[in-house]
Structure 1
Amino acid sequence: MTTTAPAPRAPSRLSLWLDLIRWNRPAGWLLLLWPTLSALWVAAGGFPGWHLLLVFTLGTVLMRSAGCCVNDVADRDFDRHVKRTAQRPVTSGQVSVKEALAVGAVLALLAFGLVLTTNALTIALSFAALAITLAYPFAKRLVSMPQAVLGVAFSFGIPMAFAAVQGAVPTLAWVLLLGNLFWVLAYDTEYAMVDRDDDLRIGMKTSAITLGRADVAAVTAFYLLHLAIWTLALWPQLRSLVWLAALAVALAQVAWHFTLIRARTREGCFAAFRANHWLGFTLFIGVAVGLV
């Protein structure tokens, strides 16, 4: 007598929503969080207070999660042709487009509720940040290096942090944003290198495709530009020995990333991308400990 194995239980709505927002992959929101917290500390000249720390930490998690919802809806027809993304909830049909957008809208509204506890300038900047976040998924169809658009989106917490602390956005904030944009170009090009073959086949535009065989050299240069700009911008405000120690650790990570991506394997490039939050953490420690 044979017995039939019970059918696998369908995932709950909550588990699907958590998968939709990449809850089990915190590296994504950590990439946004560390430069934002660095900016908060610089703007405040030290600990910015629990209120702003909670606003920007929770807001970062919520907005990254909302961005995932929008991105998966926009890319659903492309993702089914990419092995790594074919089983995402929207692409696989487990979560409808309307449902994904509703989840994203709720998360964005919660983040906006946090921003409302700050000041008028920060609130105004949050609308610009939202617009860039919504534009990024569609930039991949039009712009040869859409990672630059993502770089602005992922760096916009920096001017918002200065606005929340100082009520103004000084030149320093925009310089730090520029430096951080190069970091985003570095790690998101590593991410794009993972899917390059699939993206070529389906006609997606990415920096990995645009850069071609110059990709590894360009990623390394992006990292170095990021570190150089932040060093020049922050040097007058930091204890030199503390920052130099953090910089040495960061440069060691850049060298490690070079060894991971130079062969252009999917596994190596993805490992490099996933490790990037440690570089952001290293610079945050350099800022938080090094402030004079």
Structure 2
Amino acid sequence: MIAPAPSLVPEDAAGNWVDRYAPGFLRPFLRLARADRPIGSWLLLIPCWWSTALAAAMATRAGTPVDALQLAALLALFAIGSVAMRGAGCTWNDILDRDIDGMVERTRGRPLPSGQVSVTGAFTFLALQGLVGLAVLICLPRFAILVSLSSLGLVAIYPLMKRVIWIPQAVLGLTFSWGALVGFAALLGTLPAAAFLLYAGSVLWVVGYDTIYAHQDREDDAIVGVKSSARLFERNTKPWLVVFYAGAVVLIGAALWAAGAGSIAWGGLGIFTVQLATQVRRLDIDDRELCLALFKSNRDAGLTLFAGLMVDALLA
């Protein structure tokens, strides 16, 4: 299942907890799931938490407050599910992209192209992560299960989109933002207008931050022939980021308005907006390290908004 592990360590993985603490035989699989780089799990989780907090506030204001333990359990389930499904998505992505990854400087050290994990081993690991996701899924209400399952088509096709369309980040946005619907489905048993507005805003946010991320691979993508919004926008990236981020803020604001959110939630959105504007101001598309740092800063931006939504829900 595992070939002798070479010394290659993918991307910015060196020095992380996987290299320091994980048993040697597990490290290639943990890297395959990007456990050494948890930022993706955070970014998948945050829309789930946004929707849960906003739905909890709506339920409380409608006279049916959510039990604190139920709310905490739901947030924890989403956290576990996000880690499992992000890992599964990365594994599926690497199975499909193993030949391309071997030609890109930043990704040639990944477990599959470097020979640390076989394709059979990767499929086995994918199935195990899927079982964890399934265990989380069956803990949710039936409507939330149906809403969650309806995202699987997007999960399956996203890795292929870079071969087809110039903005594969749009499909990533549709996929990574699905949790913005699931929180409402789990707590309210329905999808109100606020859910779709929050989802649309999250999609634009994802397109923006993943465009920043894609600038790390812009030159390699051009050589390999892979499409991306970074290649499409190039020197016009900043104006497009203004469009995406401004649209995200407006749509999320519309979701807050539709949900009857309080002042603390709006304050969280205000800080979120400042953080996005700072990314645009600081961006230098030729500085790979800065692009990575700005991309990662979206975790803190998203958690800031979540904190505002959560406090608003608790005070509702």
Does the 8 Å contact 2:87/2:129 carry over to 1? yes
RMSD between aligned residues: 2.0
In the TM superposition, 1:213-252 aligns within 5 A as: 213-235=235-257, 237-240=260-263, 242-252=264-274
CA distance in 2, matches of 1:8, 1:71: 21
CA distance in 2, matches of 1:69, 1:273: 21
> Residue 194 of structure 1 corresponds to which residue in structure 2?
216
Shift of 1:243: 3.3
In the TM superposition, 1:165-204 aligns within 5 A as: 165-204=187-226
Runs of 4+ more than 4 Å apart: 7-11
> Residue 15 of structure 1 corresponds to which residue in structure 2?
27
- Residue aligned with 2:163, SS: coil
- TM-score norm. by structure 1 comes to 0.91
CA distance in 1, matches of 2:273, 2:129: 36
Query: How high is the sequence identity, in percent, across the aligned residues?
Result: 38
Q: Which moved more, 1:231-240 or 1:143-152?
A: 231-240
Shift of 1:12: 2.5
Does residue 144 in structure 1 map to residue 166 in structure 2?
yes
Does the 8 Å contact 2:6/2:116 carry over to 1? no
Does residue 264 in structure 1 map to residue 276 in structure 2?
no
In the TM superposition, 1:21-40 aligns within 5 A as: 21-40=33-52
* Aligned partner (choices 29, 43, 47) of residue 55 of structure 2: 43
Shift of 1:256: 2.4
CA 8–106 in structure 1, closer or farther in 2 if over 3 Å, else same:
closer
> Residue 157 of structure 1 corresponds to which residue in structure 2?
179
CA 164–194 in structure 1, closer or farther in 2 if over 3 Å, else same:
same
Shift of 1:129: 1.7
- List runs of 5+ in structure 2 lacking aligned partners: 9-22, 58-65
Q: Which moved more, 1:12-21 or 1:189-198?
A: 12-21
CA distance in 2, matches of 1:246, 1:160: 21
- Residue aligned with 1:275, SS: helix
Encode CA deviations 1:209-241: one digit per residue, 9 max, x unaligned.
Answer: 12232212112321121111111220352222x
> Residue 151 of structure 2 corresponds to which residue in structure 1?
129
Shift of 1:263: 4.9
CA distance in 1, matches of 2:269, 2:300: 12
Residue type matched to 2:38 in 1? P
Does the 8 Å contact 1:216/1:262 carry over to 2? no
Does the 8 Å contact 1:260/1:269 carry over to 2? no
> Residue 4 of structure 1 corresponds to which residue in structure 2?
none
Shift of 1:85: 0.8
CA distance in 1, matches of 2:280, 2:139: 42
> Residue 283 of structure 1 corresponds to which residue in structure 2?
305
CA 9–142 in structure 1, closer or farther in 2 if over 3 Å, else same:
closer
- TM-score norm. by structure 2 comes to 0.84
CA distance in 1, matches of 2:235, 2:299: 26
Residue type matched to 1:23 in 2? A
Shift of 1:177: 0.5
Q: Which moved more, 1:92-101 or 1:44-53?
A: 44-53
Shift of 1:260: 3.1
Shift of 1:9: 8.8
> Residue 3 of structure 1 corresponds to which residue in structure 2?
none
- List runs of 5+ in structure 1 lacking aligned partners: 1-6
> Residue 60 of structure 1 corresponds to which residue in structure 2?
82
Shift of 1:244: 4.0
Does the 8 Å contact 1:172/1:233 carry over to 2? yes
Shift of 1:74: 1.1
Does the 8 Å contact 2:103/2:224 carry over to 1? yes
Does the 8 Å contact 1:122/1:164 carry over to 2? yes
